[in-house]
């Protein structure tokens, strides 16, 4: 384990050192991180050394530290008022649309691969769930550069934030089913468990957000407020997961939204003091993203492209088809509902192509137990989609945004 930590820290440090020199390259920094992890691990193992990274050594770190940090950081910076104004399309896209997208994607993968023994239907559904989780970080930065409307930004960011949380809950339920003796889902029980898990997480998140926002206002030191924001992420997650056995990610999401909005609305702090907590969470999110993308690069092998190229291409096609199906079906339905501001077709195009896959999807793929049948294929599918996102979708986004907005 010490060897793996040293190896990983060296890669993270090197990534931080080279980032300022890569700003002119028309490739996302996250793509460079994947290449860095891949090249670093190949060179390291080529020299006869072991990276020391094993699935069981970083699964808990990913699910219990990195994913909560990524979700809380996004929630903490989310403009909640704008999110509430667009709550219906965000929730529809993040819950029912995500579930349908995961089902379509999983079905296409199951039929396309066609090996039920090695790649059963639950494994295909697991891949579909992970592929349905979107990551708008690169897109939102492009929105800011071209001056896109705050509403479009809120729709893309809000959907991603909530569908990440939904995907994590569904991922956990499917992993539990795959780990059971029957390896099947009792759908009635699963719906009840999903509702209980999400509902419990919401309640704990609301209580945590309220309590920590009061403490945040009472705290004089801006360092103390930064500490409170860290505890507001960690404590609700632990209580939800380990005490009440409900969704810690949902609790983290709600706590982050409440505390972030409370921080923005408060008139007690100077701009400098407010900026400290914001920059602290930007740093936390940056470090978590760097580790996740570097780990992806480290765990990619050349043989993966030789053995799983068809599954990768199938995953890209299935994810694109399922994303288009839910965007161009659900948004027109939302548009005809009363008191809903219309989401234009140009917005729909950006939202469809802008459904990039990133940090949370990689983290979930990395945390799949090796006892799950077809786990390596699922990981290859997710990696293939993320590489498609980094090297094709993201570079084409500026052109699409300028053409449609």
- Segment 146-167 mean pLDDT: 83
- The answer to which of 65-79, 136-150, 389-403 has the lowest mean pLDDT is 136-150
Which residue, among 388, 355, 332, has the nearest Cα to 140 in the 3D structure?
A: 355
The predicted-structure confidence for 335-384, as pLDDT tens digits, reads as follows 999 888 899 998 899 889 877 787 788 888 888 988 899 999 999 999 99
- The answer to which of 39-48, 51-60, 214-223 has the lowest mean pLDDT is 51-60
In terms of pLDDT, which residue wins out, 294 or 230? 230
Residue whose entry in the numeric block shows the structure tokens 């990395």: 366
297 near 15, Cβ under 8 Å?
no
254 near 240, Cβ under 8 Å?
no
pLDDT computed for residue 222 by the predictor: 83
- The answer to which of 137-141, 211-215, 216-220 has the lowest mean pLDDT is 137-141
Which residue, among 81, 15, 101, has the nearest Cα to 291 in the 3D structure?
A: 15
Which residue, among 192, 277, 190, 293, has the nearest Cα to 229 in the 3D structure?
A: 277
Q: What DSSP assignment string belongs to 339-367?
A: T-----HHHHHHHHHT----HHHHHHHHT
Cα 16 versus chain centre, distance: 21
pLDDT computed for residue 221 by the predictor: 83
Which residue, among 49, 71, 41, has the nearest Cα to 295 in the 3D structure?
A: 41
pLDDT computed for residue 301 by the predictor: 79
Residue 164 has pLDDT above 90, yes or no: no
- The answer to which of 47-61, 92-106, 157-171, 229-243 has the lowest mean pLDDT is 47-61
143 near 401, Cβ under 8 Å?
yes
């Amino acid at each position: 384990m010490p060897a793996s930590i040293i190896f990983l820290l060296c890669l993270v440090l090197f990534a931080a050192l080279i980032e300022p020199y890569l700003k002119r390259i028309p490739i996302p920094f996250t793509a460079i991180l994947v290449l860095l992890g891949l090249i670093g691990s190949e060179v390291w193992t080529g020299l006869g050394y072991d990276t020391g990274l094993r699935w069981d050594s970083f699964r808990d770190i990913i699910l219990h530290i990195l994913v909560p940090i990524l979700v809380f950081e996004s929630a903490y910076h989310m403009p909640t008022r704008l999110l509430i104004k667009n709550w219906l399309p965000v929730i529809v896209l993040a819950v029912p649309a995500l579930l349908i997208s995961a089902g379509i994607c999983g079905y296409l993968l199951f039929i396309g691969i066609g090996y039920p023994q090695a790649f059963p239907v639950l494994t295909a559904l697991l891949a579909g769930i992970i592929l349905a989780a979107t990551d708008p970080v690169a897109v939102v930065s492009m929105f800011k550069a071209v001056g896109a409307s705050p509403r479009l930004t809120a729709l893309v960011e809000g959907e991603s934030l909530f569908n990440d949380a939904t995907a994590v809950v569904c991922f956990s339920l499917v992993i539990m089913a795959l780990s059971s003796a029957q390896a099947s889902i009792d759908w009635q029980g699963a719906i009840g468990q999903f509702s209980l898990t999400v509902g419990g997480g919401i309640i704990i998140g609301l209580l945590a957000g309220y309590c920590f926002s009061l403490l945040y206002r009472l705290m004089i030191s801006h360092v103390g407020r930064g500490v409170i924001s860290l505890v507001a992420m960690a404590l609700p997650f632990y209580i939800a997961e380990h005490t009440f056995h409900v969704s810690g990610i949902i609790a983290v999401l709600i706590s982050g939204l409440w505390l972030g909005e409370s921080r923005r609305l408060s008139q007690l702090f100077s701009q400098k003091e407010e900026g400290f907590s914001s920059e602290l969470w930007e740093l936390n999110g940056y470090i978590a993203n760097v580790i996740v993308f570097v780990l992806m690069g480290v765990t990619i092998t050349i043989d993966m492209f030789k053995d799983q190229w068809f599954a990768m291409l199938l995953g890209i096609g299935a994810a694109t088809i399922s994303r288009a199906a839910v965007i161009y079906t659900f948004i027109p339905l939302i548009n005809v509902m009363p008191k809903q501001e219309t989401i234009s077709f140009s917005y729909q195009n950006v939202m469809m192509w802008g459904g990039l896959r990133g940090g949370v999807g990689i983290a979930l793929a990395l945390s799949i137990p090796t006892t799950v049948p077809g786990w390596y294929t699922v990981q290859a599918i997710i990696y293939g989609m993320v590489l498609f996102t980094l090297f094709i979708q993201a570079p084409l986004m500026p052109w699409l945004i300028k053409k449609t907005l």
